[in-house]
Amino acid sequence: MTALGRRVVVVGGGIVGLAVAERVVRDEPSSRVTVLEKEHDWALHQTGRNSGVVHSGLYYPPGSLKARWCAAGARALLDLAREEGVPHARTGKLVVATSTTELARLGALYDRGLANGLTVRRLTALEVRELEPHVSAVAAIHVAQTGVIDYREVSRVLVRRLQDAGATLLPGTAVVGGHPGPDRVVLETTRGEVVADVAVVCAGLHADRLARALGHQPSARIVPFRGEYMELQPSAAHLVRGLVYPVPDPALPFLGVHLTRGIDGHVHAGPNAVLALSREGYTWRDARAMDLLETAGFAGFWRLARRHHRSGAAEVLRSVSARRFADTVRRLVPEVRTEDLVPSSAGVRAQAVKPDGTLVDDFLLERQGRVVHLLNAPSPAATAALEIARQVVRQLPT
Ligand SMILES: Cc1cc2nc3c(=O)[nH]c(=O)nc-3n(C[C@H](O)[C@H](O)[C@H](O)COP(=O)(O)OP(=O)(O)OC[C@H]3O[C@@H](n4cnc5c(N)ncnc54)[C@H](O)[C@@H]3O)c2cc1C
Residue 2 lies in a domain: no
Q: Please tell me the total count of domains within the chain.
A: 3
In the reported structure, the alpha carbon of residue 31 is separated from the centroid of ligand 1 by a whole-number distance in angstroms of 25
CATH number of the domain residue 200 falls in? 3.50.50.60
Residue 250 lies in a domain: yes
The confidence score (pLDDT) of residue 320 equals 77
User: Which atom of ligand 1 is the closest one to the Cα of 48?
Assistant: 29
Helix H or strand E segment including 229: strand 221-232
On the question of pLDDT at 123 being above 90, the answer is yes
Taking a C-beta distance cutoff of 8 angstroms, is the pair 397, 369 a contact?
A: yes
In the reported structure, the alpha carbon of residue 286 is separated from the centroid of ligand 1 by a whole-number distance in angstroms of 18
In the reported structure, the alpha carbon of residue 45 is separated from the centroid of ligand 1 by a whole-number distance in angstroms of 5
CA angle 361, 366, 370 (to 5 degrees): 160
Does the Cβ of 12 fall within 6 Å of ligand 1? Answer: yes
Q: Which residues form the domain of 212?
A: 7-48+152-220+362-394
Say yes or no: 287 and 302 in one domain.
Answer: yes
CA angle 15, 118, 19 (to 5 degrees): 15
Q: pLDDT tens digits for 348-375? A: 999 999 999 999 999 999 999 999 999 9
Say yes or no: 264 and 314 in one domain.
Answer: yes
The confidence score (pLDDT) of residue 321 equals 82
Pocket test for ligand 1, best of 22, 40, 47 (most atoms within 8 A of CB): 47
The confidence score (pLDDT) of residue 3 equals 62
CATH number of the domain residue 329 falls in? 3.30.9
- Which residue has the least CA distance to atom 2 on ligand 1? 50
Q: pLDDT tens digits for 11-39? A: 999 999 999 999 999 999 999 999 999 99
Give phi and psi for 322, each to the nearest 5: -60, -30
For 214, counting Cβ atoms within 10 Å of its Cβ (0-12 exposed, 13-18 middle, 19+ buried), the class is buried
Residue 87 lies in a domain: no
Say yes or no: 340 and 251 in one domain.
Answer: yes
On the question of pLDDT at 309 being above 90, the answer is no
Residue 199 lies in a domain: yes
Say yes or no: 271 and 341 in one domain.
Answer: yes
On the question of pLDDT at 398 being above 90, the answer is no
Q: How far is it, in rounded angstroms, from Cα 157 to Cα 300? A: 38
Q: Percentage of the chain surpassing pLDDT 90?
A: 87
Q: pLDDT tens digits for 373-384? A: 999 999 999 999
In the reported structure, the alpha carbon of residue 370 is separated from the centroid of ligand 1 by a whole-number distance in angstroms of 23
The mean pLDDT of the chain is 95
Residue 171 DSSP one-character state: E
Residue 1 lies in a domain: no
The confidence score (pLDDT) of residue 319 equals 80
Say yes or no: 282 and 225 in one domain.
Answer: yes
- Evaluate the CA torsion angle 198, 204, 205, 207 in order and state its sign: positive
SS3 37: strand
Does the Cβ of 224 fall within 6 Å of ligand 1? Answer: no
Does the Cβ of 386 fall within 6 Å of ligand 1? Answer: no
Residue 202 lies in a domain: yes
Residue 249 lies in a domain: yes
Strand ordering across the sheet containing 88-89 = 53-54, 147-149, 88-89
- Which residue has the least CA distance to atom 33 on ligand 1? 12
**Per-residue pLDDT averaged across 342-347, rounded?**
95
Say yes or no: 244 and 254 in one domain.
Answer: yes
- Other Cβ atoms closer than 10 A to 27: 13
Say yes or no: 203 and 293 in one domain.
Answer: no
Residue 55 lies in a domain: no
For 282, counting Cβ atoms within 10 Å of its Cβ (0-12 exposed, 13-18 middle, 19+ buried), the class is middle
Going by pLDDT thresholds of 50, 70 and 90, the confidence category of residue 318 is: confident
The confidence score (pLDDT) of residue 1 equals 45
On the question of pLDDT at 252 being above 80, the answer is no
Q: What is the CA radius of gyration of the chain?
A: 21
Say yes or no: 349 and 259 in one domain.
Answer: yes
Taking a C-beta distance cutoff of 8 angstroms, is the pair 131, 241 a contact?
A: yes
SS3 357: coil
**pTM given for the model:** 0.96
In the reported structure, the alpha carbon of residue 145 is separated from the centroid of ligand 1 by a whole-number distance in angstroms of 23
Pocket test for ligand 1, best of 20, 34, 42, 50 (most atoms within 8 A of CB): 50
Q: pLDDT tens digits for 193-251? A: 999 999 999 999 999 999 999 999 999 999 999 999 999 999 999 999 999 999 998 77
In the reported structure, the alpha carbon of residue 238 is separated from the centroid of ligand 1 by a whole-number distance in angstroms of 30
Say yes or no: 209 and 157 in one domain.
Answer: yes
For 88, counting Cβ atoms within 10 Å of its Cβ (0-12 exposed, 13-18 middle, 19+ buried), the class is buried
Does the Cβ of 271 fall within 6 Å of ligand 1? Answer: yes
Say yes or no: 226 and 278 in one domain.
Answer: yes
- Which residue has the least CA distance to atom 41 on ligand 1? 175
Say yes or no: 242 and 354 in one domain.
Answer: yes
Residue type, 269: A
Question: Is residue 380 reached through a cis peptide bond, with omega within 30 degrees of 0 on the bond before it?
Answer: yes
Does the Cβ of 50 fall within 6 Å of ligand 1? Answer: yes
Q: How far is it, in rounded angstroms, from Cα 256 to Cα 217? A: 32
Does the Cβ of 175 fall within 6 Å of ligand 1? Answer: yes
On the question of pLDDT at 2 being above 70, the answer is no
Q: How far is it, in rounded angstroms, from Cα 174 to Cα 184? A: 19
Say yes or no: 156 and 212 in one domain.
Answer: yes
Taking a C-beta distance cutoff of 8 angstroms, is the pair 164, 134 a contact?
A: no
